[in-house]
Amino acid sequence: MARSTSADPDLVAMLSQLFDDYRAARSAPREVIDFDAELWARLDELGLTRLTASEQSGGSGASWFDGAALLALAAGAGAPVPLLEHGFLAAWLLEAAGLPNDGRLRTVCRPDPAGVALNVTYGRDAASIVALFEDGDEWRVADVPVDRRSITRGRNLAGEPSETVEFDLADLAAGATVEEEVGEQFHLRGALARCAQVCGAFERIVELVVAHVREREQFGRPIGRFQAVQRLVADLAAEASLARAATDTAVARATDSDWTDPGLLFAVGVAKSCVGHAASVVVRNAHQALGAIGTTLEHELHTLTKPALARRSEFGSIHEWDETLTRLATSAGHDRLWSLVTTGRAAPPH
C-alpha cells in the first residue's frame, strides 16, 4: 500500500467542522485563557486527545500528517486544550518508557538538575505531569501525580496557564530509563508540533485579515483596494505560506522515516526558523491591517497573535535554531551545502 503524503481528508473535514462549531459557540475572548474541560471531553470522546499514540497504548494510531492537521486547526480556533502536551509528548514518552497511560489529563516538562521545570503549560489542570529527566548519563521518564509536586501558578504571553513546577528528585530518579534518542527526539517533536500550531494560527489570521480588508471601507471603497494595505496583506500571506511549506516538509520527513531520518535536525530547524521569523511579520501586519478593532479584547485576533508569539520561542528560540542552522551550513562547507539543503544532511566528501 502506498504511504500517505498528507492528512486524511475525511479527518480534516471533520476537524474543520468541529472547530468551526467551537469558534461559533464559544463566549467572547478574555484576557486570560483557561482549560476548556467541555471541549476536552468532546475531543477525548472522538479519540483525538491521543491521536498519534499507538493503538496498543490506548491511542488512535494516526500519522503525524493527521496530528499536524489537528494541532493546526485547534490552534486556528484558539482552542484552550493541551493537545500537544498530553497527546503528542506525554503519551509518546509513557509509551517509550513502557509506563501505563490511563488517559487522565497530563502535561509534560523537562526539569533541570535541581528538579525544577519552568513554563509547564496547563500544569494546574493536569492530573499528572510526565517529566523527561536527564539523570547523569541516563534519560528517565517519570509520571508524577498531582499530590507529589509543588506548583507556582503563572501565565504565558498568551494568557494560558504556565507554571513553575518543583519535583522531588527521588520521584524523578525513580522514573523508567529510556534510550538516549528519546531525549533527543523530545526537543524535535515539541518544536515541530509548535510549528504546526503557529501555522494554524497564521492561516486563521490570513482569513480574518482578508475578510476585513474586503469589507472595511474608507473614502468610499474597501481598504483592500489601497496599495499600502495590499502590501501588508501580501507580505503576511507570503510569510505564512513559507512557514507552512517548511513545516509540512519537516512533518513529511518525520512521518516517512518514523522520526529516524538523520536530516530531521535540519528540517525542523528550517521550519522553526521560518515560523519564528514569519511570526513577527504576520502579527505586525495583521494588527496594522485591522487597526484599532484588532486590539480590542472582544476581537478574535489576539487569541491567535499572542499564542503565535508565545509558541515561536518554545522548544528553542529563533536565535538558537538560527545558530543551529548556521552551524550545520558551516560544517557542510561550500561543496556539500546543496546536499544539506536538499536532503537535510551533508553528503560525505568523495
- Per-residue pLDDT reduced to its tens digit, 230-281: 999 999 999 999 999 999 999 999 999 999 999 999 999 999 999 999 999 9
pLDDT tens digits, one per residue of 304-327: 999 999 999 999 999 999 999 999
Establish if 3 belongs to a structural domain: no
Tell me the CA distances in angstroms from 65 to 29, 187, 269, one per residue in order. 30, 18, 18
Establish if 40 belongs to a structural domain: yes
Average pLDDT, the chain: 93
As a whole number of angstroms, the distance between CA 283 and CA 43 comes to 29
Is there a single domain that holds both residue 121 and residue 210?
Answer: no
Which of 239, 268, 273 lies closest to 251, judged by CA? 268
Is there a single domain that holds both residue 153 and residue 248?
Answer: no
Establish if 194 belongs to a structural domain: yes
pLDDT at residue 298, as a whole number: 86
- Residue 333: pLDDT band by 50, 70, 90 thresholds? confident
Is there a single domain that holds both residue 117 and residue 237?
Answer: no
Establish if 91 belongs to a structural domain: yes
Average pLDDT over residues 208-235: 90
pLDDT at residue 1, as a whole number: 30
Establish if 246 belongs to a structural domain: yes
Is there a single domain that holds both residue 156 and residue 204?
Answer: no
Is there a single domain that holds both residue 157 and residue 33?
Answer: yes
Domain ends where: 178, 209, 225?
178
- How far, rounded to the nearest angstrom, does the alpha carbon of residue 328 sit from its chain's CA centroid? 24
Q: Are 279 and 308 in contact (CB under 8 A)?
A: yes
Domain ends where: 117, 148, 178?
178
Establish if 350 belongs to a structural domain: no
- Residue 10: pLDDT band by 50, 70, 90 thresholds? very high
Give me the domain span that covers residue 146.
9-178
Which one is predicted more confidently, 126 or 341? Answer: 126
Is there a single domain that holds both residue 102 and residue 57?
Answer: yes
Establish if 2 belongs to a structural domain: no
Is there a single domain that holds both residue 189 and residue 306?
Answer: yes
Is there a single domain that holds both residue 101 and residue 131?
Answer: yes
Establish if 1 belongs to a structural domain: no
User: How many structural domains comprise the chain?
Assistant: 2
Domain ends where: 161, 178, 195?
178
pLDDT at residue 348, as a whole number: 58
Is there a single domain that holds both residue 99 and residue 131?
Answer: yes
Residue 222 has pLDDT above 90, yes or no: no
pLDDT at residue 347, as a whole number: 64
Which residue reads 516517512 in cell numbers?
A: 256
- Residue 5: pLDDT band by 50, 70, 90 thresholds? low
Query: What's the per-residue H, E or C state across the chain?
Result: CCCCCCCCHHHHHHHHHHHHHHHHHCCCCCCCCCCCHHHHHHHHHCCCCCCCCCHHHCCCCCCHHHHHHHHHHHHHCCCCCCHHHHHHHHHHHHHHHCCCCCCCCEEEECCCCCCEEEEEECCCCCCEEEEEEEECCEEEEEEEEHHHEEEECCECCCCCEEEEEEECHHHHHCCEEECHHHHHHHHHHHHHHHHHHHHHHHHHHHHHHHHHHHHCEECCEEHHHCHHHHHHHHHHHHHHHHHHHHHHHHHHHHHHHCCCCCCHHHHHHHHHHHHHHHHHHHHHHHHHHHHHHHHCCCCCCHHHHHHHHHHCCCCCCHHHHHHHHHHHHHHHHHHHHHHHHHHCCCCCCC
Residue 3 has pLDDT above 50, yes or no: no
Is there a single domain that holds both residue 143 and residue 74?
Answer: yes
Which one is predicted more confidently, 31 or 230? Answer: 230
Q: What percent of the chain has pLDDT over 90?
A: 79
Q: What is the number of other CB atoms lying within 10 angstroms of the CB of residue 56?
A: 8
| Burial class, 339, CB count within 10 angstroms (exposed 0-12 / middle 13-18 / buried 19+) | middle
Query: What's the per-residue H, E or C state across 152-188?
Result: ECCECCCCCEEEEEEECHHHHHCCEEECHHHHHHHHH
What CATH number does the domain containing 303 carry?
Answer: 1.20.140.10
Strands 106-109 and 128-135 come out as parallel
Is there a single domain that holds both residue 170 and residue 200?
Answer: no
pLDDT tens digits, one per residue of 141-200: 999 998 888 999 999 999 999 999 999 999 999 999 999 999 989 999 999 999 999 999
Is there a single domain that holds both residue 60 and residue 155?
Answer: yes
pLDDT at residue 2, as a whole number: 35
Q: pTM of the prediction?
A: 0.94
